[in-house]
Structure 1
Amino acid sequence: MRRSEFTRAVDAEFGARAASVVADLTLGGVGHRTAAEALADGVDPRDVWLALCVEADVPESRRHGVGMREPRR
């Protein structure tokens, strides 16, 4: 997952709250850092996305593939 895909996934899942969730929610899965801190520290965006999904109780059906670019035609 690229950083841009992470951003699209967070926006799609959390809407207007996306920026706040990334900046404020502490994620146990990435060392009790916020998503913003984990990304700044070089943690893979997919690992941050999955930790965010766990912490925010995002259903498994919405954890994979969200935020991915549409295939080229």
Structure 2
Amino acid sequence: MVALNTVICSIRLCCSFLLFIVFLLCLFLAASLFSWIAAMYVVRCPRVMLALGLPNAPLHYRDAAGILPP
């Protein structure tokens, strides 16, 4: 009976550990997806590009902000 309880306890411990690993993997994937979406927003939004000082902001946005190309 004690051996059966030990086996059940070890199985529960393994399942908990595996669920924790799956949770961490999902958290990593969610963070990766969020960063990818944020990067796509930065690339497609000229105002954000201008605010970050990226050089490929469209000319009319740079001109309106007083940043003229050399």
TM tier, shorter chain?
A: under 0.3
Bigger radius of gyration: 2
Q: Which has the higher helix share?
A: 2
Specify which structure has the bigger relative contact order, considering alpha-carbon pairs within 8 angstroms and separated by 6 or more residues: 1
TM-score by length of 1: 0.22
TM-score by length of 2: 0.22
Q: Which has the higher strand share?
A: 1
